[in-house]
Each structure stands twice: as structure tokens, then as C-alpha cells.
Amino acid sequence: MQDLSRIKNIKCFLFDMDGTINLGEELIPGMEGFFQRLQATGRSFYLLTNNSSKSHAPYVAKMTRLGVPVTEKEVLISSDALCDHLKEHCPAARLYVLGTPQLEESLRKAGFLLVTEPRLAPRPAQEDVDLIVLGFDQCLTYKRLSTACRLIDRGIPYIATHPDLRCPIEGGEFIPDTGAMIALIKAATGKGPSLILGKPYEYMVDAALRRTGYKKEQLAMVGDRLATDIAFGRRNDILSILVLTGEAGLEDVEAAAKAGRSEEVPDIILDGAYDILRYL
């Protein structure tokens, strides 16, 4: 039996967007004015996305059109966790990036050196790249892909912004996402990424904790996907709230429980994110 009283202890809610707040270009019915009322209770929020193909500005513009009062500081992207991690562990790394211009610009703004044309001299010449970054590269070309694979074959490690295999688009269809690119590179080189930053891994929680100053028990993840949103909460000891306005339904939760996938079973299930206000 779910303990709805836990919602009252939350100081900051982390929201998935599509399927939780909106469906495409439309706000989910019942979400009108929700964030204004949430802030009036003294709670804060962040909008989380694994989609590293965009910078903060497009998300703010879209949410603003939908009536959601969000600033760039309240949008947390897997690329933010990436920049945080690189600054802490390898601030001087020379990067070769498979990603959109927006991802490249985010890395440059964070102070990183991007190598756009790596030197692929005959071995054993020293490489001029320290690390490869794989994002949701909607500008991917065969030349860039083959260059990355050659560098990986030479021992250069790579990290990925997130593990999603497919990205939903309008009309209920999907396009290949970063996880599919990971599978392609692994098939070609035999090597997977040394690190994956986005949901459901801990790095996005770390980024939220740094930005808010709260403890884990004061955070909650609200989303519509079991394998990313709910697993993100369960794996990282923050309250997980499933809403039934998007991808997953009650039958999916039952199937996950029967299959022993406990990290995909939410702490709390609500009809929609709008129901959170009832328990604050």
C-alpha cells in the first residue's frame, strides 16, 4: 500500500516533461496553473530530460508557451550532469564530440576544448583526443562515426550522455536515440561507454543535489516511464512517483513486479502530476 504522506516531506520535485507535463505541444489537462500553485506551497522544481540534443533555451521556450513558469536554471539536462562530471574528474580533457551543435556549445561554455578534426596519424603516434563524448547526435555522419570508432579502437575511452534507445516523436512514433548509437559503436568496436550520465544513473541526482542543497529524502522524481523515471528514483533512494498520463499503465507496473524488476515499481502511483497538490 502506497504511503501518500511521503509527498508532504518533499521540498523539490524533479519532473519528466513529455508524458508527465505535456503531450507534444499540448499541456496535459489538469496541469493548468499547477506549477504556480506548487511554488505557492514553498516547494521548488526542476524539469529533467535525458535529451542532450538541445540546450536549455528551447525547453524554456516550449514550457513558456504551455504556461509553465520555468527558467533555464530550472531545466536539468543530461549534458549538465556531463559537464559537472568532466569538470570534477577531467577538466583539461580534449574532447571529440558526437553530438549536435547545441551540445558542443554547452561543452565550450563549460570551458572544454573540442577537437573537431582529430589527427589519425599512423600508429603509434600520440592521439590529440583524450575522451569521446556521445550524445543524441541528430547530425551524425558516417565520417564522424568512423572517426570515433577508429579512436575507440586505438584505446580512447568514450562516455554517453544517456542510455535511451528510442526518442518519441509526434504521432506515437520513435527515432533512434543515444542507446541505439551505443549499440552500433559496440557492434563495431566491441567496446561500450566507460560511463553513462543520464537517467536512471546517479549523476543527474548528484547534479540536482548540488543545485538545490537538499538531501535525497527531500527530493522526488515524477514521471511516466518505468525504466528511466521510476528506476531513476528507486536506484538513487529518492521518492518515485509514477503518473498515468504517459507511457506506463498499471498493467506495466504489475508486469514489472511479476518479472522481479523491483527498481521499476514506483513508490507512489497517481492519475496525474496535478494530484500532487492534494497531498501537500
Q: What digits encode the pLDDT tens for the residues 75-99?
A: 999 999 999 999 999 999 999 999 9
The whole-number pLDDT of residue 126 equals 63
Dig out the grid coordinates for 213 from the structure.
Answer: 542543497
pLDDT at 123 over 80: no
**Mean pLDDT rounded to a whole number for the chain:** 93
Rounded to whole angstroms, the Cα distance separating 163 from 172 reads 20
Of the residues 196, 231, 265, which one is the last residue of a structural domain?
A: 196
pLDDT at 266 over 80: yes
Residue 115 lies in a domain: yes
Task: Please indicate, yes or no, whether residues 191 and 221 belong to a single structural domain of this protein.
Answer: no
The whole-number pLDDT of residue 24 equals 83
Rounded to whole angstroms, the Cα distance separating 54 from 103 reads 7
In the chain, the number of structural domains is 2
The whole-number pLDDT of residue 90 equals 94
What radius of gyration, in Å, describes the C-alpha atoms of the chain? Answer: 20
Dig out the grid coordinates for 35 from the structure.
Answer: 506549477
pLDDT at 257 over 60: yes
pLDDT at 124 over 60: no
Residue percentage of the chain with pLDDT more than 90: 88
Contact 149, 182 (CB under 8 A): no
Residue 45 lies in a domain: yes
Give the domain range for residue 189: 90-196
pLDDT band at residue 119, thresholds of 50, 70 and 90? confident
pLDDT at 219 over 80: yes
Nearest one of 166, 158, 270, 152 to 228, comparing CA atoms: 166
Contact 139, 100 (CB under 8 A): yes
Specify the range with the lowest mean pLDDT, choosing from 53-67, 166-180, 218-232: 166-180
Residue 210 lies in a domain: yes
pLDDT band at residue 127, thresholds of 50, 70 and 90? confident
The whole-number pLDDT of residue 169 equals 74
Average pLDDT over residues 269-279: 97
Of the residues 196, 214, 230, which one is the last residue of a structural domain?
A: 196
What is the SS3 assignment for 76? Answer: strand
Nearest one of 5, 7, 60, 10 to 212, comparing CA atoms: 10
